[in-house]
Amino acid sequence: MIWETAIEQFRHFLNLERSLSPNSIDAYLSDINKLSQFISDQYPEVTPDSVSGLQLKEFLAYLGSLGISSRSQARIISGIKAFYRFLLSEDLIQQDPSALLESPKLGRKLPDTLSLPEIDKILNSIDHSTPEGTRNRAIIETLYSCGLRVSELISLRLADVHADIGFLRVRGKGSKERLVPIGSSALKHLDLYLTLVRVKVTVKPGSETVVFLNRRGTGLSRVSVFNIVKDLVKTAGIKKTVSPHTFRHSFATHLLEGGADLRAVQQMLGHESITTTEIYTHLDRDYLRQVITEFHPRS
């Protein structure tokens, strides 16, 4: 078995049986390619089915020497384990060399969020007199109102907008669909964009059903949305590092601060596990401080 063949078979498995998104597949394959490159350089005679656990540990030590973070190492280990579980399930190996690999301990990093005044500042910095401004207002409103990932935003289709009932149909990770309520302000600005701006764009073939388009008539890319957010944050004079994902974090945080049910937020975010959503329960520091001040006997 050669590395190229094993990796290609793994790619087919991720695509056809796991139904992962192209971005997720690329991430998995990138990690396995790092491993294959290291093994080929250090042990040219070793193939995927003859790698030892010790060699995998050497690879992890090599990653550490490059200064790769613990979080990235943990992701790479997860990819390696998935690769060897696949080979084992296909009877291409007799024993899983990654079985004893342990991920580094990770501290829980709380995501950055925006306050309501900061979000208002960003929205107020948009020039609504231009077509791009009308579109960008709809983008920010939708990101924040629905807590979407950037990949979910750019994959929205016209048929996914159910304005009559105030919901969007969203395709999340693993092509899983969910219905997410969209607020009245976001719905208003989305309607303005669709009826005043998008209808005037000459749409390129293949993008006819895409909601958010660039001026050339094709769907926006992830990088385009990142740049839109970056420019708006700079114009608003906000010094925080803000990405499209920051609006998703803010959506969840503000809902929970307002008393929303954790399970409902989990469903709207499209989290498979509620433990992923629980991180947002740690964010309301002001409320925690207030509780200590009011109720702790030695506060």
Q: What is the pLDDT along the chain (299 residues), one digit of tens a residue?
A: 799 999 999 999 998 888 888 888 999 999 999 999 999 999 999 999 999 999 999 998 898 888 888 888 888 999 999 999 999 999 999 899 998 888 776 655 666 789 999 999 999 999 999 999 999 999 999 999 999 999 999 999 999 999 999 999 998 877 788 999 999 999 999 999 999 999 999 999 999 999 999 999 999 999 999 999 999 999 999 998 899 999 999 998 888 888 888 888 888 888 877 777 777 766 555 555 666 677 666 65
Question: Counting beta carbons within 10 angstroms of the beta carbon of residue 236, is it exposed (0 to 12), middle (13 to 18) or buried (19 or more)?
Answer: middle
* Active-site residue flag, 234: no
Q: Is 62 a catalytic residue?
A: no
CATH code, domain carrying 35? 1.10.150.130
Contacts of 198 (CB under 8 A, 6+ apart): 135, 211, 213
Angle, vertex CA 200, rays to CA 195 and CA 201, nearest 5: 115
**Position 259 in a domain:** no
Q: For residues 108 and 204, what is the distance between their CA atoms, to the nearest angstrom?
A: 44
Backbone angles phi, psi at 168, to 5 degrees: -115, 145
Tokens of 293: 């001040």
Q: Do 142 and 223 belong to one domain?
A: yes
Do 82 and 134 fall into the same domain?
Answer: no
Q: Work out how many domains the chain is built from and give that number.
A: 2
- Asked about 248 being catalytic, the answer comes back as yes
Q: Are 172 and 178 in contact (CB under 8 A)?
A: yes
Do 136 and 62 share a structural domain?
no
Asked if residue 135 and residue 35 are part of one domain, the reply reads: no
Q: Which range of residues forms the domain containing residue 193?
A: 117-239
Tell me which of 135, 248, 249, 254 is the catalytic residue: 248
11 is catalytic: no
Strand (E) or helix (H) holding 209: none
Structure tokens at 95: 């024993």
- Segments of 146-225 assigned E as strands: 161-162, 167-171, 177-181
Q: Exactly one of 149, 198, 249, 254 is catalytic; which is it?
A: 149
Q: Comparing C-alpha atoms, which of 140, 262, 248 is closest to residue 190?
A: 140
Q: Clarify whether residues 81 and 34 are in a common domain.
A: yes
Given 173, 178, 204, 222, which residue is catalytic?
A: 173
Same domain as 49, residue 157: no
The answer to the question of residue 110 being in a domain is no
Assess whether 72 and 131 both reside in one domain.
no
pTM (two decimals): 0.65
Same domain? 18 vs 125: no
Q: Is 149 a catalytic residue?
A: yes
